[in-house]
Structure 1
Amino acid sequence: MAGDAAPTGVEATGSKRRVRADAQRNIDSLLEAAKAVFATSGVDAPAKEIADLAGVGVGTLYRHFPQRSDLVKAVFQREVDACADAAPALSAAHEPGVALAKWLHRYTEFVATKRGLATALHSGDPAFDALPGYFMQRLGPTLGSLLEAAIASGEIRADISPKDLLYAVANLCMPVSDDGPAYSQRMVALLVDGLRHSAERQQS
């Protein structure tokens, strides 16, 4: 019967696209939920807590992320990518020194609120071995371009490398106060002020 005919090529393709779009929405929801749960309950939080927050079943979580390490890696990479991708818009909207300071603020938020991820990444699990390289591959060039522009404009001292600054901020985000991320932001703001003050002294 006509009503039982197989879908045409266009209909079949459209169906596949809808399935892929639904799957991507589930993945995005799971990653956002995992980021929130990891920040409050740690990376060993129950899978159901993550799935419930994402609005999906636990089976959907395991279908996309069979191992807990798969989910941790995906959350980490997504956050690194978001941090790296923020740089072009900041550069287009602000003077080089301001763009650098705002990006470092964004990077500080990433580092200061991802302590649960950091614990997992330093656990010795070989599943995470490639992530430090991914971190530098994405954020090193991003910060490098911001630094070069700020140095060329005379707003930032010239004797600091992207790697130095990435690790300096990470060290300033170590938990030493009950103020949490707010404390880290204040310390990084002092660091940026120091870079600017040194540039002014070098020019005088």
Structure 2
Amino acid sequence: MESRKPRADATRNRRQLLEVATRMFASAEAEPSMRAIANEAGVGIATLYRHFPTRESLVDAVYQDQVSRLTGGARELLAELEPPAALRRWMDLFGEWIATKNGMLDTLLAMVESGEIAHAHTRTELLGAIDDILEAGRTTGELRADLPAEDIAAALIGIFTVAGSPANEAMAARLLNLLMDGLRPTTPGHDA
């Protein structure tokens, strides 16, 4: 039997649910209810459950969508921007990804613990995205060659742990700019 393509309205509903869930997870102090997500997306609860039968399936879809955006975003940014500008913009995307986890943290942690989400695979993908940008910057001489992606990821996690809330947006931007300053090669005759 031939598999059918999803109807246009089904595809649109799924995309809308993912966008709304992502936004609500990012802005929530606690995990929003499935009903609240459906209401905000303008669909019935049955439509939400048809696309995402469990909270875990919705969290997984949002999580995978965000990881895909981050990894694909690195390539897209490099196609448009010089490596330092691409890396700085990618850092903002990383911060948005971290923020999305706020409203789904309990479910996400349970899924990582149970093995439903392969944390190691995600880590490898994200480090690969950072490496792609770093390598481009090393090739052009615009980014230091002595820093591994792991160090940058650790610095980003630290920054967004300290300044990840919307109230600290200006602080996060300053810290990210400071990190970028440290990623540029020093010029001869200047102190490091």
Query: Shorter-normalised TM-score: what interval?
Result: 0.7 to 0.9
Per-residue CA deviation, residues 111-149 of structure 1 (Å, 9 max, x unaligned), is 245323345433476455534234223322221111011
| C-alpha contact (below 8 Å) 1:112/1:181 kept by paired residues | no
Residue equivalent to 1:4 = none
2:149 is the counterpart of 1:152:
no
How many residues of Structure 1 are paired with residues of Structure 2 in the alignment? Answer: 188
Residue equivalent to 2:186 = 200
Residue equivalent to 2:40 = 53
Higher relative contact order (CA 8 A, sep 6+): 2
Q: CA deviation at 1:37?
A: 1.7
Per-residue CA deviation, residues 52-77 of structure 1 (Å, 9 max, x unaligned), is 11111101111221221111111111
Alignment partners' CA distance in 2, 1:125 and 1:84 = 20
Match among 69, 90, 96 for residue 103 of structure 1: 90
TM-score computed with the length of structure 1 as normaliser: 0.78
Q: CA deviation at 1:35?
A: 1.1
Q: CA RMSD for the aligned pairs? A: 2.7
| C-alpha contact (below 8 Å) 2:143/2:183 kept by paired residues | yes
TM-score computed with the length of structure 2 as normaliser: 0.82
Alignment partners' CA distance in 2, 1:134 and 1:125 = 11
Alignment partners' CA distance in 1, 2:56 and 2:41 = 18
2:168 is the counterpart of 1:180:
yes
1:1-204 equivalent positions in 2, closer than 5 A: 16-17=4-5, 19-42=6-29, 44-123=31-110, 126-127=113-114, 129-175=116-162, 179-196=167-184, 199-201=185-187
Alignment partners' CA distance in 2, 1:103 and 1:118 = 22
The percentage of counterpart residues that share the same residue type is: 35
- Structure 2, gaps ≥5 residues long: none
Q: CA deviation at 1:31?
A: 0.9
